[in-house]
Amino acid sequence: MKSIATALALAAATIALPASAALPVGAQAPVFTTKAALGGKPFDFALARALKKGPVVIYFFPAAFTQGCTIETHEFAEAAAEFHRNGATLIGLSADPIDKLAKFSVEACRNKFPVGVASATTIAGYDVPLKAGATMTNRTSYVIAPDGKVLFTLSQMNPAGHVQGTLDAVKAWKARKR
């Protein structure tokens, strides 16, 4: 655990790009369908279908197999069972091609949750371009309620806090539903 914290601090120190999210809490999240991979196997992921099961945690990340993205994905993989126990679907999105994401789904996601292709339309809809006109995404995490409303947003290039923030939001949603 100490090595993860050290790696997070190092990653944060090397990334000085600002990030912002245009979708505030309460906004309607754009629906999308995309190619995703779980355990190296591609499939079609549809947000609308996932929302029928419960809240969806979407985390956008700049690029598979980069230091900060791998650290963040490992942390989501470690928490994947807890997200599931709390009724949430988890998916990571990046502008990487599906073949790269299929490998990442095995190596970084550890076969515990899917990663999918963030299209230009999805990047624009969630306002997560790394910079104006970019096809890469910044690092932004959302929790989307089953009604499609944004419950939580965290937009910062430092991967620290994304897993805990989204998990806390999912648990708070579940507690309100009891």
State the pLDDT at residue 178. Answer: 78
The domain of 43 spans: 2-177
In the 8-state DSSP scheme, what is residue 125?
H
Do 61 and 73 contact (CB within 8 A), yes or no?
A: yes
Positions of the chain with pLDDT lower than 50, given as ranges: 1-19, 21
Give me the CATH number covering residue 137: 3.40.30.10
- DSSP code per residue over 43-94: EEEEHHHHHTTS-EEEEE-S-TTSHHHHHHHHHHHHHHHHHHHTT-EEEEEE
Q: Which residue(s) pair with 144 in the sheet?
A: 56, 150
State the pLDDT at residue 177. Answer: 86
State the pLDDT at residue 27. Answer: 96
CB-hemisphere CA count at 13 Å for 43?
13
Number of folded domains in the chain? Answer: 1
Positions annotated as catalytic residues are 69
pTM: predicted TM-score of the whole model, two decimal places: 0.87
State the pLDDT at residue 6. Answer: 38
- Which two three-digit tokens encode residue 134? 């970019």
